[in-house]
Amino acid sequence: MDQLSAMHTFRRVVDLGSFSAAASQAGVSHTVLSRQVKNLERALGTQLLTRTTRRLHPTEAGLLFYRHCVLILDQVQAMTLELSEHQLQPTGTLRLSVGSAFGDLELGRWLPDFVEQYPHLHVELNCTDRFVDLLEEEVDVCLRVTDHLPDSSLVARLLTPSPVLLVAAPGYLERQGSPSTPEALSTHPMLGYSRLQQPQRLTLSAADGSRRDVLMPRRLSANSPMALRAAAIGGLGIASFDRFIVDDALRDGRLVPVLRDWHLPGRNLYAVYPHSRYLAPKVRALIDYAQQYYATTRWGCD
């Protein structure tokens, strides 16, 4: 029995919670992986996994063995990478996941320069607003603008704050009037992001610590930030956006801020990646580049 191969299999099965998911990721049959784990249990003289109808769970011995597998396999990977001369420069395929609006509006500003710096690196880009399971989908890095961190099995490195603000088209405010207080928002239609549970409910705060909860009537909801941006520019109502989504429209006057003295809770841009004792050169290169780029404030507040 190939001990390292069996350890890889066991770690993958525990990480993904099932033989089927692990087999799909490894590109082999369920039977092959199941046999490897059974041979491993026979060689160690102990049961490593308990099987339920929905998921696999490591036994107490299995959990201990899993921890040693992680340590040993990470050390082997680190040794292999350090001894491979070609890995001194990032090579291979970097699987990068970003939100759809971030991919449309931000990546073009810096990703071409990053790619030019590393000619032996191939970037496989996935733009999606759905939840991405980095381990199951074998994603190396995920860049996400969010107001909450992922679970503890992932590493999240803060890149830059992402201000959130209310905006509308000048033509809309000329027709409907510009609200001067948070309460006045209740008479204006909200263009809401449908992936949020209550997109029409806002919490605003002022510099003196005052807070207001506002419920706006819904006029249009969409699961695409870019569609909502187009609707706002078209004058359909008031909307809240991360600053990077509307930065160019604010600068050229297609959109203007609403209630400048009141602020929505901000969010942050994170680089999220699986935890590992050794960070692959391709992942480190992307994260370091993005962190350096966003060290300079990119999304100001007017």
Residue 260 has pLDDT above 60, yes or no: yes
Neighbours of 246 (CB within 10 A): 26
With respect to residue 298, please indicate whether it lies within any of the assigned structural domains.
Answer: no
pLDDT given at position 302: 46
Distance CA 188, CA 162 (A): 25
Mean pLDDT of the chain: 88
- Lowest-pLDDT range of 6-10, 115-119, 232-236: 6-10
Do residues 148 and 179 share a domain?
no
Of 34, 49, 83, which closes a domain?
83
Distance CA 27, CA 37 (A): 16
Band of residue 195 on the pLDDT scale cut at 50, 70, 90: confident
Do residues 251 and 278 share a domain?
no
DSSP state of 184: G
Residue 183 has pLDDT above 90, yes or no: yes
Do residues 7 and 78 share a domain?
yes
Do residues 185 and 233 share a domain?
yes
Residue 204 has pLDDT above 60, yes or no: yes
Q: Which of 162, 171, 145, 147 is nearest to 238 (CA)?
A: 171
With vertex at residue 142, the alpha carbon angle to CA 133 and CA 160, rounded to the nearest 5 degrees, is 140
Do residues 96 and 116 share a domain?
yes
Do residues 168 and 138 share a domain?
no
Q: Which residues contact 61 (CB under 8 A, 6 or more apart)?
A: 44, 46, 47, 48
Distances (CA, A) of 61 to 14, 37, 40, 66, 194: 13, 14, 12, 9, 45
The helix/strand/coil state of 109 is helix
Do residues 156 and 174 share a domain?
no
For position 115, which CATH number holds? 3.40.190.10
Distance CA 18, CA 57 (A): 9
With respect to residue 34, please indicate whether it lies within any of the assigned structural domains.
Answer: yes
For position 245, which CATH number holds? 3.40.190.290
Band of residue 236 on the pLDDT scale cut at 50, 70, 90: very high
Do residues 204 and 175 share a domain?
yes
With respect to residue 301, please indicate whether it lies within any of the assigned structural domains.
Answer: no
With respect to residue 71, please indicate whether it lies within any of the assigned structural domains.
Answer: yes
Do residues 274 and 158 share a domain?
yes
pLDDT in tens, 150-166: 666 788 999 999 999 99
pLDDT > 90 in the chain, percent: 50
Do residues 137 and 280 share a domain?
yes
Distances (CA, A) of 163 to 20, 150, 286, 300: 42, 20, 23, 8
Do residues 58 and 37 share a domain?
yes
Identity (one letter) of the amino acid at 94? Answer: L
The helix/strand/coil state of 25 is helix
pLDDT > 70 in the chain, percent: 94
User: Number of folded domains in the chain?
Assistant: 3
With respect to residue 185, please indicate whether it lies within any of the assigned structural domains.
Answer: yes
pLDDT in tens, 37-96: 898 888 889 998 987 767 788 899 989 999 999 999 888 877 776 666 455 678 889 999
With respect to residue 121, please indicate whether it lies within any of the assigned structural domains.
Answer: yes
pLDDT in tens, 117-131: 998 899 999 999 888
Q: Which of 76, 121, 70 is nearest to 276 (CA)?
A: 70
Give me the count of residues in the chain.
Answer: 302
Neighbours of 82 (CB within 10 A): 11
Instruction: Quote the domain boundaries for residue 76.
Output: 3-83
- Provide the β-strand partners of residue 168: 256
pLDDT given at position 133: 84
Of 58, 83, 108, which closes a domain?
83
With respect to residue 288, please indicate whether it lies within any of the assigned structural domains.
Answer: yes
pLDDT given at position 1: 57
With respect to residue 302, please indicate whether it lies within any of the assigned structural domains.
Answer: no
pLDDT given at position 150: 62
pLDDT given at position 121: 92
The helix/strand/coil state of 57 is strand
For position 53, which CATH number holds? 1.10.10.10
pLDDT given at position 87: 52
Do residues 152 and 218 share a domain?
no
Of 83, 107, 138, which closes a domain?
83
Identity (one letter) of the amino acid at 15? Answer: D
The string over 84-114, giving b where at least 16 C-beta atoms fall within 10 Å of a residue's C-beta and e elsewhere, is: eeeeeebbeebbbbbbbbbbbbbbeeebeeb
pLDDT given at position 22: 85
- Determine what percent of the chain falls in helix, strand and coil, rounding each to the nearest 5: 40, 25, 35
Mean pLDDT for the stretch of residues 269-285: 85
